[in-house]
Chain A
Amino acid sequence: MKKQKLHELKQTSLRVREHIIRMSGNGGCFIGASLSCADLIVYLYKEFLNVSKENMKDPKRDYFFLSKGHDVPALYGTYVELGWLEEERLKNHLKTNDFIYWHPNRNIPGIEFHSGSLGHNLSVAMGVAMDCKLRKQKNKVVVVVGDGELNEGSMWEALLVASAYKLDNLMIVVDRNQFQANIQTEDLIPLKPLAKKFEAFGCKAKKVNGHNFEKMDEIFKNFPFEKGKVSVVIAETVRGKGLPSIEKRADRWFVNFKEEEIEQLLKELHGAKQTKLTSETIVAR
């Protein structure tokens, strides 16, 4: 990857993180998961997916599904950076005059399908991938799922079917931030060895650092990883990435920050010392 490109991606994801942080007050958002997959979403839209403002209704476009709907602020932020969504509209977060809330809604241009209930968008993406295959079209279909989401039986049921139908135009990206809602995955329902589990279900799995654009580039460009198999990327990520004061913290899963905390967090994102957070921690919702 060229230095200029790398710099550009880093700058974009920094701005996406700023958007996410600004959405974490006035009702709040699921900040931890949004920050863990921000780099992934930026990479996918900027470098991997053939989808643009011009072709987003074209049946030949690539499809993106965000199955773990909690992290939709990362998607809104990316859409602002792509010029698909006016930045002003982010202020409508949780307002009745728009469709911007805690989970994706199809009324926002670019969002292919709603999510929020875990374990759904993989099978929806499979329906799309199946149709692309039947029509002999070359679209890529990517679905980002959470590691906690892998508790859902419907994920594994769907994998059996995806492998049976050899959907090698389908890529599953796991945002492996090691957390489910309130607890570390390995402390509740352990997923290890995760890559082996996917491979036992007939997929080809690769691991990557989900915050390193150069490493992602090396992995993603090999899609499909193996002819006839679903490609799985296990993206090792950090919950709350970019804000050391909330990184890897179970109690900063959902947050509703005060205005002054948000101002300080924006400085922290750019290297200032850790923010002293005083707002109430919300563990379970």
Chain B
Amino acid sequence: MTYADIVLDLIKKDDRYIIMTSENRAAFRNLPPLIKNNFIDTGITEQTMIGMAAGLALRGRTPIVHALATFLTMRAFEFIRTDVGIANLPVKIVGAVPGFLSDGNGPTHQAIEDVSIMRGIPPMNVFCPADEEDMLKGLKSVFTHSAPFYIRYNPTKALVEHSKFELGKAEVFGKGTDVAILVYGFLFREAFKAKEILESKGVSVRLINIRTPKPIDEETVLKAVDECKLIVTLEDHFITGGLYTILAEVLLRNRKTANVLPFALMNKWFKPALLNDVLEYEGFTAGQIANKIFNKLKIEH
């Protein structure tokens, strides 16, 4: 099962679904001849594509629009906000190569404020799957939901088997109380490996795959805040407006505070390179994450 299979299956069962792209066909190269009328490539025109998606939605369609995350969420931002957001239309916005996944492309292609700006649109939901398996588990609920969604496309291979997807529910690994690692998207992989390193030194870890930064699973987050000594937020996103900010909002709403260690891009774009080198350079490998947590907990390692 792949992303393309899920889209094909949806379209075969229900003619309402239409996949649109502004010439970013990589994720579904073989689909167009199979779905003919349910596939529209508008060329390199993110704004027009979103406007048309709104028009198609007015006619009862559910467009799945697929393009590079930066250009889709930023070039077309006002179209998403004004045409999809104000009208609350069921348009599914799939952003390809988000966050660190844009690896060697450079800052023009780094979608590291996408979660912040998309969640700021009132009816918009945000789904950031940990890996391909997590994405495929969630897509059906997300695509068939009546609300607009932004999806951080993530085709990386899974390290673990994920649980059933439930909108607005985080996925929790372990019951540790020393540290809770809150993470969404691709960095789940590093978080999972960091958990193993930490546990090998006797640190008890609770790993929380946020899945949907919006709606946020406030109950699971608050439980971690109440039960764990240290809260880590981990994201390939600017420090502003993403998970760290979401946690701050949850804490403030509930008149709480916490001992928080954030991993995020601190007001700078990341060094363009091959993915693993990016992680190393920016300090986001499992080992680097674990070390910072050891230091914070004042544990010899």
Interface of A toward B, CB cutoff 8 Å? 59, 106, 112-114, 117, 119-132, 134, 154, 157-158, 160-161, 164-165
Are the C-beta atoms of A154 and B55 separated by less than 8 Å? no
Are the C-beta atoms of B82 and A161 separated by less than 8 Å? no
Are the C-beta atoms of B47 and A117 separated by less than 8 Å? no
Are the C-beta atoms of B87 and A126 separated by less than 8 Å? no
Nearest chain B residue, comparing its CB with the CB of A152: B47
Are the C-beta atoms of A128 and B58 separated by less than 8 Å? yes
CB < 8 Å: which of B51, B60, B86 contacts A126? Answer: B51
Q: Which 4 A-B pairs have the closest CB atoms?
A: A127-B55, A123-B51, A127-B52, A131-B59
Query: With A106-B87, A122-B51 given, can you name 19 additional A-B contacts, CB distance below 8 Å?
Result: A112-B58, A113-B54, A113-B83, A120-B82, A123-B49, A123-B52, A123-B83, A124-B58, A127-B56, A128-B58, A128-B59, A130-B52, A131-B59, A132-B59, A154-B79, A157-B45, A157-B47, A160-B45, A161-B52
Interface residues of B in 12-60 (CB under 8 A from A): 37, 40, 42-43, 45, 47-60
Interface of B toward A, CB cutoff 8 Å? 37, 40, 42-43, 45, 47-61, 78-79, 82-83, 86-87
B77 CB → nearest A CB, Å: 12
A159 CB → nearest B CB, Å: 9
Nearest chain B residue, comparing its CB with the CB of A159: B48
Report chain A residues within 8 Å CB of B51.
120-124, 126-127, 154, 158
Known contacts A154-B51, A161-B52; decide if A127 and B45 are in contact (CB<8 Å).
no
Report chain B residues within 8 Å CB of A112.
58
Report chain A residues within 8 Å CB of B48.
123, 126, 154, 157-158, 161
Report chain B residues within 8 Å CB of A113.
54, 58, 83, 87
Instruction: Give the CA-CA distance A120 to B61 in the complex, in Å.
Output: 19
Report chain B residues within 8 Å CB of A154.
47-48, 51, 79
Are the C-beta atoms of A126 and B55 separated by less than 8 Å? yes
**Could you name 12 residue pairs across A and B whose Cβ atoms are closer than 8 Å?**
A113-B58, A114-B82, A117-B82, A122-B51, A123-B52, A123-B55, A125-B55, A127-B51, A127-B54, A128-B56, A158-B45, A164-B43
A158 CB → nearest B CB, Å: 5
Are the C-beta atoms of A130 and B47 separated by less than 8 Å? no
Instruction: Give the CA-CA distance A123 to B51 in the complex, in Å.
Output: 5
Instruction: Give the CA-CA distance A161 to B86 in the complex, in Å.
Output: 24
Known contacts A117-B78, A120-B51, A124-B83; decide if A161 and B58 are in contact (CB<8 Å).
no
Report chain A residues within 8 Å CB of B37.
134
B40 CB → nearest A CB, Å: 7
CB < 8 Å: which of A114, A117, A124, A160 contacts B52? Answer: A124
Are the C-beta atoms of B43 and A130 separated by less than 8 Å? no
A127 CB → nearest B CB, Å: 2
B18 CB → nearest A CB, Å: 8
Instruction: Give the CA-CA distance A92 to B79 in the complex, in Å.
Output: 29
A67 CB → nearest B CB, Å: 10
Are the C-beta atoms of B61 and A131 separated by less than 8 Å? yes
Are the C-beta atoms of B56 and A131 separated by less than 8 Å? yes
Are the C-beta atoms of B82 and A128 separated by less than 8 Å? no
Report chain B residues within 8 Å CB of A122.
51
Instruction: Give the CA-CA distance A124 to B83 in the complex, in Å.
Output: 8
Nearest chain B residue, comparing its CB with the CB of A133: B37
Instruction: Give the CA-CA distance A126 to B83 in the complex, in Å.
Output: 13
Instruction: Give the CA-CA distance A113 to B48 in the complex, in Å.
Output: 16
Instruction: Give the CA-CA distance A126 to B87 in the complex, in Å.
Output: 17
Report chain B residues within 8 Å CB of A106.
87
Report chain A residues within 8 Å CB of B50.
123
Are the C-beta atoms of B55 and A131 separated by less than 8 Å? yes
Instruction: Give the CA-CA distance A117 to B53 in the complex, in Å.
Output: 17
Are the C-beta atoms of A161 and B53 separated by less than 8 Å? no
| Centre residue among B37, B47, B78 by max chain A CB count within 10 A | B47
Nearest chain A residue, comparing its CB with the CB of B45: A157
CB < 8 Å: which of B45, B56, B79 contacts A130? Answer: B56
